[in-house]
Structure 1
Amino acid sequence: MAVVPSSDVYQFILRRCMSMSEILQTIGENQVKHFPTGEEVQLKSFWADNDVVIYFLRRYGCPVCRWLAKNISRLQPIFDSNNVKLVGMSPQTQGSDEFLKSKLFSGELYIDEKKKCYKDLEYQQYSFFGALMALKDKDTQFLSQKAKEEGISGDIRGDWYQMGGLLVIRKGGEVLLNFKQQKGSDHVENPEILKALGIDAALEEASDKPAECDAAACSM
């Protein structure tokens, strides 16, 4: 007798058979809430008129997530000059008020309360043992220390188990980068984000510097 898989198992098998473009079409239909207005929008609106970088946080109260949010926000001037939208997403509301007030993140904030995007993108979750071991992970401790040195704190509220990731999407819906965390300290370095967008970081830095001249030229 044939065994009919449960709905969750069926969806898992279906996602495994889907291409990234098909997954993008699926998550594009997902509704998320803007914070703090509560306005619901479809995810596909993020890449309708511009390139977009979507940072999927583990939770708003996570100090490492807050440091990573601040770090990616250093790219905001480059994003602005290249028509790139920056979005931060969390699967929960806990810590959202403090996160907003901290002004660590320069992009727009949204909440995926049903974790629909997190599930569709197959973001992992820590086991109970894995979450405990993460506290002793040297990479996590390193980023936690960097956050502390910059005056960034956090709290223990919310889901400790959920992993996040980062999506870079071209205007119109082409996935340029699909990054998934294996542990809480995993992240994409800023130069790699710019590389995925096809932005020359060295050229951007040079354009931000004032013109220099030698003594002879300046005396003219």
Structure 2
Amino acid sequence: MNTFSIDQEVIKSMLTNEGSSLWDLTFEQPVLLVFLRHFGCTFCREALSDIAKIKPRIEASGIQVIFVHMTDNKIADRYFQRYQLAGAVHISDPECEYYAQFGLVKGNFTQLFGLQSWIRGFQSGIIEGNGLSYKQIGDGFQMPGVFVLQEGKIKDAFVHRLSHDRPDYESLITNCCEIN
């Protein structure tokens, strides 16, 4: 279990595309909060594909998935639709303020463009079919991360060391939350 804390005022200020406060939602049920890289990134699209495959199991366990992205809601909705995540709950953060508040940093050259990233990019983009794109929709240097929140507190987290890290979302939520 990782130890993270965040100012509750930050969580209260985070509003979803539906107008709900993230703070309030964490008291209704645990939340898997997924901070994405920019939508032009192969690894962002890989994350969307991975989550789409397991979202029914996550939600069946009583956990809500909420995405944070760096574009406007209309563009985000198109990407969610493309990855069978239509109706996804999400938070727009084009200035990456919430990313920073959650301790997610800008990546350095090795984290973003190292040999491992090129190899994984080929695997994800070509072999797994997530596509390669040079279109940047958001801050191309912003690193992603995943947090599990319950009752306004971070219960666990996965902070990417490298842009191509692939979280095990199901392991992240297992045994970290009390479901009523």
Under a length normalisation based on structure 2, what TM-score does the superposition of the two structures give?
Answer: 0.78
2:26 to 47, 55, 69: 47
**Identical residues among aligned pairs (%):** 17
User: Are the equivalent residues in 2 in contact too, given 1:165–1:187 (CA < 8 A)?
Assistant: no
Gaps of 5+ in 1: 1-18, 200-220
Q: How does 1:1-220 map to 2 (within 5 A)?
A: 20-21=4-5, 23-34=6-17, 39-93=18-72, 96=76, 98-105=78-85, 107-127=88-108, 130=109, 134-139=112-117, 141-153=119-131, 154-157=133-136, 158-170=138-150, 172-197=151-176
Cα separation, 1, equivalents of 2:103 and 2:69: 15
Gaps of 5+ in 2: none
Structure 1 residues 185-220: Cα deviation after superposition (integer angstroms, max 9, x where no partner): 123213422425469xxxxxxxxxxxxxxxxxxxxx
Residue 28 (structure 1) shift: 1.2
Secondary structure in structure 2 of the residue aligned to 1:74? helix
Residue 63 (structure 1) shift: 1.3
User: Are the equivalent residues in 2 in contact too, given 1:124–1:182 (CA < 8 A)?
Assistant: no
More moved, 68-77 vs 81-90: 68-77
Q: Assess, with a 3 A threshold, how the Cα gap between structure 1 residues 140 and 55 changes in structure 2: closer, same or farther.
A: farther
Cα separation, 2, equivalents of 1:196 and 1:69: 23
Residue 67 (structure 1) shift: 0.6
Structure 1 residues 73-130: Cα deviation after superposition (integer angstroms, max 9, x where no partner): 3222222322110111112339635413312446423211232211111211024xx1
Cα separation, 1, equivalents of 2:164 and 2:11: 27
Higher relative contact order, structure no. (Cα contacts within 8 Å, ≥ 6 residues apart) = 2
Cα separation, 2, equivalents of 1:139 and 1:197: 30
Under a length normalisation based on structure 1, what TM-score does the superposition of the two structures give?
Answer: 0.65
User: Are the equivalent residues in 1 in contact too, given 2:65–2:89 (CA < 8 A)?
Assistant: yes
Figure out how many residues of one structure are paired with residues of the other and give that number: 172
Provide the alpha-carbon RMSD of the alignment.
2.9
Residue 56 (structure 1) shift: 0.1
Cα separation, 2, equivalents of 1:165 and 1:59: 12
User: Are the equivalent residues in 1 in contact too, given 2:11–2:22 (CA < 8 A)?
Assistant: yes
Structure 1 residues 151-201: Cα deviation after superposition (integer angstroms, max 9, x where no partner): 32244223211111000112x2232212222221123213422425469xx
